[in-house]
Homo-oligomer: A and B are copies of this chain.
Amino acid sequence: MSGAKRQSKKQRPDGLSRIQEMNRAKILEAALGQFSRFGYSGTTIEKIAGEAGMSKSNLLYYFASKPDIYEAVLEHILDVWLAPLRMLDPDRDPATELSAYIRQKLQMSAELPEASRLFANEVMQGAPRIRRVLEEDLKGLVAEKSEVIRHWIAAGKIRETDPVHLIFLIWAMTQHYADFQTQIELLTGQNLKDPDFRKGAEEAVIAMVLSGVGLTPGPA
């Protein structure tokens, strides 16, 4: 047995075994659900573990502490959360670009409402853990995309509008359907997962934004 094969733990690229990866993923998903619903203080490690199908202690084997989990979740969703805005293209026409952006944001509100609510929660508490990201990355991104809008204005393609307010208002309208989902359901019995309602929301937001910048939305 001398010189025998060593206990081969296949060293994967990230240094994690398959089950480790899977467990981490399950934890992050469960944590997103809990944090977004109950806020940071309102969620317990035990609940997250329960949702993820494991024991509290086992969870604490993967993440050393509660803040660690929270930050991992936030980091995990931030990229996908900001992705749509990055795609605003100055070289295409504003009606197409703005419509596409709104549709993407509404799609995210439909498919990942928890991410929206987690983000809202964090910001409402003063954004203690994502201050940096907002001040640096997001601020830069918004400045960049404001330039795109100013470019459209200068080219006479859309009406004179404050770019920053325009961006804020698009965020407000699209994220509202995720953040206030409960209220919307109580008042209408529907949410973005209903195709009809989703279409109604898309039309309402797009109509408002396009006419708001002086474009007349076509019937599609």
Q: A121-B39, A208-B212, A211-B211 are in contact. Are A138 and B173 (CB under 8 A)?
A: no
Please classify the interface of chain A as helix (H, G, I), strand (E, B), loop, or mixed, using the class held by over half of its residues: helix
List, in ascending order, chain B residues with CB within 8 A of A139's CB. Answer: 186-187
The chain B residue with its CB closest to the CB of A202 is: B165
* Contact flag A204-B166 (CB < 8 Å), given A39-B41, A211-B211: yes
Size bracket of the A interface:
35 or more
Find chain B residues with CB under 8 A from A172 CB: 172-173, 175-176, 180
Contact present for B182 and A126 (CB under 8 Å): yes
In the complex, the answer to whether B183 meets A134 with C-beta atoms within 8 Å is yes
A37 within 8 A of partner (CB): yes
Interface residues of A, Cβ cutoff 8 Å to B? 36-42, 117, 120-121, 123-127, 131, 134-135, 138-139, 142, 161-162, 164-166, 168-169, 171-173, 175-177, 179-180, 182-184, 186-188, 200-201, 203-205, 207-209, 211-212, 214
